[in-house]
């Protein structure tokens, strides 16, 4: 029987635990011995690697985050620690890895493969949804649903008090979360890093809306824009003439009960990943687009910058 291991790296997402559950179950079905690597690459370096069983994944499918932990490892950037990681895998006869993570995690994995030849399949897992080659990353659906619920709740107060609310989403330099949330919540303003903006261009329209009976505004701001959310709130008060508040959603966007879609996709990603390794694919990333699942090389993913879909941008800005 072959040994296979899985780890989570970088930011946690809801959907990782369903993926871990299916990893154990599907590995055993395929006559593989599954191992958990705890705390990402840090655990790989520290030999925090343990054989996994069905008991370990009982009752985790509804939990956010990851039961095996995650981390961002500076040590893994150094070859001496990558060598130690390889020795730990060799001691357990593990030469197949599945990684749940984002671009930074994939780059480290690419180097590790080129140095030591450990076969892998990577699964895009980040609420930023900023990985080239895939339209969907594990966890994005749960995050969007949490944002949706938050915006809907804030709208009640905005309408009651006749206020503007500036709601800040995560996403680093990618505006995906903000854009999709703005489209699906009917937000009056959406500011993302990908689109240059001038708040002055909105002033006449917003003032006209107030004169015509508009009582509140919802503005979605991605964290990667050049302005602080408080500056935008001040603009609403000084230039538009409406009381304004800021709500920074923060890390609630990462956690929470995984949606049905993220649970299902976690299962599908794992199935494709294990099948890839059994089919002797040595280094691949499993991506999902409108054409379905597709295996891509690590170079296709990490060496090409992610670009927000222009059709999504057009939905809001045109």
Q: How many domains does the chain have?
A: 2
Is 310 inside any structural domain? no
210 plus 279 within the same structural domain? no
Is 317 inside any structural domain? no
| Average pLDDT for runs of 10 along the chain of length 318 | 95 97 98 98 98 97 97 94 98 97 93 95 97 97 98 96 97 96 97 96 97 97 96 98 97 96 98 97 95 93 92 94
219 plus 286 within the same structural domain? no
Is 106 inside any structural domain? yes
Is 213 inside any structural domain? yes
CATH number at residue 183: 3.40.50.460
Is 111 inside any structural domain? yes
What does the longest C-alpha to C-alpha distance in the chain come to?
A: 73
Q: What is the pLDDT of residue 156?
A: 96
Is 82 inside any structural domain? yes
201 plus 63 within the same structural domain? no
Length, in residues, of the chain: 318
- Say if residues 106 and 298 touch (Cβ distance below 8 Å): yes
Q: What is the pLDDT of residue 1?
A: 80
Q: What is the DSSP string of 238-267?
A: III---EEEEE-GGGGT-SSPPHHHHHHHH
Task: Indicate the residue among 231, 253, 275 that finishes a domain.
Answer: 253
Q: What is the pLDDT of residue 126?
A: 97
Is 208 inside any structural domain? yes
Residues in Cβ contact with 264 at an 8 Å cutoff, skipping those fewer than 6 apart? none
Catalytic residues, which ones? 128
| 55, 136, 172, 300 from 150: Cα distances, Å | 35, 22, 19, 35
Task: Indicate the residue among 219, 234, 253 that finishes a domain.
Answer: 253
Is 318 inside any structural domain? no
242 plus 265 within the same structural domain? no
13 plus 112 within the same structural domain? yes
Q: How far apart are CA 303 and CA 32, in angstroms?
A: 32
Q: What is the pLDDT of residue 303?
A: 86
95 plus 81 within the same structural domain? yes
208 plus 129 within the same structural domain? no
CATH number at residue 291: 3.40.50.450
286 plus 151 within the same structural domain? no
Q: What is the pLDDT of residue 257?
A: 97
Domain range for 231 is 141-253
Structure tokens at 251: 């890390």
Q: How far apart are CA 138 and CA 70, in angstroms?
A: 15
Q: How far apart are CA 147 and CA 169, in angstroms?
A: 8
DSSP strands (E only) in 160-316:
164-169, 189-191, 217-222, 244-248, 283-289, 292-296
9 plus 122 within the same structural domain? yes
Task: Indicate the residue among 237, 253, 269 that finishes a domain.
Answer: 253
231 plus 82 within the same structural domain? no
Q: For the CA atoms of 125, 165, 227, 72, what is the dihedral angle to 10 degrees?
A: -20
């Amino acid at each position: 029987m072959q040994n296979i291991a899985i780890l989570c790296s970088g930011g946690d997402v809801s959907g990782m635990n369903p993926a871990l559950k299916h990893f154990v179950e599907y590995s055993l079905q395929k006559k593989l011995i599954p191992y958990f690597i705890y705390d990402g690459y840090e655990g790989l370096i520290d030999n925090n690697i343990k054989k996994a069983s069905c008991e370990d994944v009982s009752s985790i499918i509804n939990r956010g985050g990851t039961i095996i932990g995650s981390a961002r490892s500076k040590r893994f950037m150094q070859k001496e620690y990558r060598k130690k990681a390889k020795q730990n895998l060799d001691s357990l006869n593990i030469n197949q890895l599945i990684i749940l993570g984002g671009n930074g995690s994939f780059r480290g994995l690419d180097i590790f493969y080129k140095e030591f030849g450990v076969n892998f399949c990577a699964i895009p897992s980040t609420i930023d949804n900023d990985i080239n080659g895939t339209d969907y990353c594990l966890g994005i659906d749960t995050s969007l649903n949490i944002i949706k619920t938050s915006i809907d709740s804030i709208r009640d107060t905005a309408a009651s008090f006749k206020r503007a609310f500036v709601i800040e989403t995560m996403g680093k330099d990618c505006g995906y979360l903000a854009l999709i949330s703005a489209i699906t919540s009917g937000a009056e303003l959406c500011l993302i890093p990908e689109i240059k903006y001038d708040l002055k261009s909105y002033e006449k329209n917003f003032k006209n809306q107030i004169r015509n009976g508009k009582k509140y505004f919802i503005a979605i701001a991605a964290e990667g824009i050049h302005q602080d959310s408080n500056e935008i709130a001040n603009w609403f008060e000084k230039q538009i003439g409406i009381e304004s508040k800021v709500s920074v959603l923060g890390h609630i966007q990462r956690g929470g009960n995984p949606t049905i879609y993220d649970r299902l996709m976690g299962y599908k990603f794992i199935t494709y990943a294990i099948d890839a390794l059994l089919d002797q694919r040595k280094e691949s990333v499993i991506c999902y687009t409108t054409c379905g699942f597709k295996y891509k090389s690590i170079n296709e993913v990490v060496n090409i910058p992610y670009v927000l879909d222009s059709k999504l941008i057009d939905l809001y800005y045109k």
